[in-house]
Structure 1
Amino acid sequence: MAPKNKKDSSLIIRLPKEDRDAFVALCEEMDTSASRELRDHIRKFLKKNSKKGS
């Protein structure tokens, strides 16, 4: 059985370098990582927008 938090997939996105750099810098200032914040956003988005009862 695989560990619950195992991350075995990646998602590549394209965005302006200035946005990426500002996002990464802000995450560092807030003592977090860009990956952690994006995973959190994706989980919240899925929870909010998933069909009820599925």
Structure 2
Amino acid sequence: MSEKPKKKSANKDAQLILRLDKDERDAFVALCRELDTTAAREIRHFIRKFMKKHADKA
């Protein structure tokens, strides 16, 4: 059997590491799961929205 080729993320070659309380993180991940989304997707959405809101200040 051959291995499936790994999908390459479209231009996602950087990471943002942040520290937060474990209980808060777990609750966020659980809520995302309940809403059929991922924590990463919601964080990316927040960043894009925040940047768009403040685009005139950059």
| Short-chain TM bin | 0.7 to 0.9
- Larger Rg, first or second structure (1 or 2): 2
Deviation per residue, 1:21-41 (Å, 9 max, x gap): 000000000000000000000
In structure 1, the gaps of 5 or more residues are: none
Q: Which residue of 2 aligns with 1:6?
A: 11
- Give the root-mean-square deviation of aligned CA atoms: 1.4
Report the 3-state secondary structure (helix = DSSP H, G, I; strand = E; otherwise coil) of the residue aligned with 2:31. helix
Length-normalised TM-score, structure 1: 0.83
Matched with 1:34 is 39
Percent identical: 59
TM-score (norm 2): 0.78
Aligned residues: 49
Q: Displacement of 1:6 after TM fit?
A: 1.9
For 1:9-24, list aligned pairs within 5 A: 9-24=14-29
* Structure 2: gaps spanning 5 or more residues: 1-9
Q: Please identify runs of 4+ aligned residues in structure 1 that moved more than 4 A.
A: none
